Amino acid sequence: MKKVSIYVENARLTPSAYYRLTQYFQPSEARFHSALPDGVYRWWHSLENTGRRVFSIPLYLIYVVRTLVSLIQDNLSMSNGTVILARAIVPRRLPSLHKYLIRRLAKRNKIVWDFDDNIIANKRISPADFHFHSKHSDTIVVSTDILLSLVDKSFAHKVKILPTTDGDFLGYDTQEVLSQRQSLYNEEIRLVWVATAIGLEYIQPIIPSLDDAAKALKELNGKKLSLHVVCNKPLLAEASCLEIVNVLWGREVAKKEITGSHIGLMPLPDNEFTRGKGGFKLIQYMSTAMPVIASAVGFNKQIVTKDFGFLINSPNDQTTWKDAIIELASDWENYARMSENAKDCYDKCFSYEKNKEFWEHLTC
């Protein structure tokens, strides 16, 4: 078996690393290099903005040193293998020594560069480093055609598109999940939103609309509406009728919350960075046969159809967050049909098995 070496921020805890790469490789199949140990990763993501400014230089040095050690190890041991670099292995500025070692690796190994966000817009990587990775990679893997457009035309032939998906729900019985949701349906409708703390600014603006939906739902048929926020930090928001349930993120916890909820949400503002997002939350919800409501931004527009979801602020549809929730919460037969359509779309377009085959072929 050819050697596979994978460079990520953190193999277990960084969502993009886990769902883009970790879930497809057994420990015996690949060697993962986490730039941040678990404890450092958790500590950093618990800090507020002031703390991050204070400790940004020590954190950068951790990235530099740990990645440097890994690159030296691979240069001594890797030949005719595959090296996968996720996003920016050292954020903002890749040192010259690291570039030298990557070029040396590229002479004897296949280099694959994978990214699933607009890492230029969020300043995760400099334009110079973006060009370096584009030039020295044999294959560039992105999650959407919008991200493909970021790559210089001279390197576009290297790009392959692979949407981010989730294989954690493969063992679940869809009918059992729907039965569980139906048992709650006449009394409570649960909305779910799963994200990291950076996304809290996306969910906050729609809370008034969700609260209006909660009031209307209670008046129409006496149902309660709750929003389960699964995140590493709580959502601090006020609502008069909507029940906000903050749940500390953990992979198993997130699975339980998603299967136990009725509707998945993905609100986004429309800007350069969000237009590059890969719609992973929607795909994750769909894998459990869950209808979705999302902002009509970027790749969301290519994922969501009227068969199983709603796009809000779409030029062709004036449906609001409130309208969409009320429709999904008022008719179980319609809800069940849309649930099955969501799962069908996941199986046909975003299945874990297809993604796994992609990586197996690329690293063979």
Is residue 154 situated within a structural domain? yes
Co-location of 334 and 228 in the same domain: yes
Q: Which two tokens stand for residue 148?
A: 């493909």
Is residue 42 situated within a structural domain? yes
Count up the domains in the chain and report the number: 2
Co-location of 193 and 320 in the same domain: yes
Q: What does pLDDT average to in each consecutive run of 10 residues of the chain (364 residues)?
A: 92 93 92 96 90 93 98 96 97 97 97 96 95 98 95 97 92 92 96 93 95 96 96 93 95 94 96 91 96 95 96 81 96 97 95 95 92
Co-location of 34 and 112 in the same domain: yes
Residue given tokens 């996720």 in the structure block:
86
Angle between helices 96-108 and 127-136 (to 10 degrees): 10
Q: How many Å separate Cα 195 from the centre of its chain?
A: 8
Amino acid at 283: I
Co-location of 285 and 248 in the same domain: yes
End position of a domain, from candidates 162, 191, 219: 162
Residue given tokens 């649930």 in the structure block:
339
CB 118 within 8 A of CB 275: yes
Q: What are the backbone angles phi and psi of residue 4, rounded to the nearest 5°? A: -125, 125
**Rounded to whole angstroms, how far apart are CA atoms 303 and 345?**
9
CB 324 within 8 A of CB 293: yes
Co-location of 253 and 155 in the same domain: no
Residue given tokens 């986490």 in the structure block:
34
Q: Is 31 helix (H, G, I), strand (E, B) or coil?
A: strand
Q: Is 341 helix (H, G, I), strand (E, B) or coil?
A: helix
User: Would the pTM of this model clear 0.85, i.e. be above it?
Assistant: yes
Q: What are the backbone angles phi and psi of residue 33, rounded to the nearest 5°? A: -115, 105
Q: Which two tokens stand for residue 286?
A: 């769909």
CB 37 within 8 A of CB 115: no
pLDDT of residue 1: 60
Co-location of 133 and 238 in the same domain: no
Is residue 363 situated within a structural domain? no
Domain with 100 in it: 4-162
Is residue 360 situated within a structural domain? no
pLDDT of residue 163: 94
CB 206 within 8 A of CB 239: no
Co-location of 44 and 135 in the same domain: yes
pLDDT of residue 346: 95
Dihedral angle computed from the Cα positions of residues 142, 164, 167 and 82, in that order, rounded to the nearest 10 degrees? 10
* CATH code for the domain in which residue 259 is found: 3.40.50.2000
Is residue 193 situated within a structural domain? yes
Q: Which residues does residue 161 pair with via DSSP β-bridges, in sequence order?
A: 142
137: left (phi over 0), alpha (psi -120 to 50) or beta: beta
CB atoms within 10 A of CB 191: 26
Nearest Cα neighbor of 89 from 141, 38, 125, 41 is 125
Check residue 23 and report its DSSP letter. Answer: G
CB 210 within 8 A of CB 242: yes
CB 303 within 8 A of CB 247: no
User: Burial of 310 by CB count in 10 Å (0-12 exposed, 13-18 middle, 19+ buried)?
Assistant: buried
**Rounded to whole angstroms, how far apart are CA atoms 297 and 9?**
27
**Rounded to whole angstroms, how far apart are CA atoms 263 and 50?**
35
- Measured CA distances, 132 to 80, 109, 138, 244 (Å): 21, 16, 12, 45
Q: Which two tokens stand for residue 224?
A: 């309660």
Q: Is 283 helix (H, G, I), strand (E, B) or coil?
A: helix
Co-location of 186 and 147 in the same domain: no
